[in-house]
Amino acid sequence: MNCESTLAHSLPVVAQTDILIVDDVLENIRLLSAMLDCNGYQTRKATNGAMALTAVKTTLPSLILLDVRMPNMNGYQVCEHLKSDSRTAHIPIIF
């Protein structure tokens, strides 16, 4: 994705916002991270629920974009783990 696209110009620039993208479809991760990176967001990626939980333990993200339908551990299960832990319960999650 080109950072010069029309969509990129319509989004606000936010510096050093760490967004964790969790999706088992690599095309979705590439598209979301390209759009967000072009607009000044810092992104990290996880391709399954277990990787997401490990990534959150490493560094707390400002926001999690979470796929609902994933194998082994779906988005609702990941969310349940995160919201039951006081260290991660405050992190906003968008499905």
pLDDT in tens, 8-30: 455 454 446 899 999 999 999 99
Name residue 20's beta-bridge partners: 44, 64
Q: Could you give the number of structural domains in the chain?
A: 1
Per-residue pLDDT reduced to its tens digit, 49-72: 999 999 999 999 999 999 999 999
Task: Tell me, yes or no, whether 79 lies in a domain.
Answer: yes
Q: CB of 88 within 8 A of CB of 56?
A: yes
pTM of the model: 0.85
CATH number of the CATH domain containing 53: 3.40.50.2300
Kindly tell me the burial class for residue 51, based on how many C-beta atoms sit within 10 Å of its own C-beta (0-12, 13-18, 19 or more).
middle
Domain assignment of residue 57, yes or no = yes
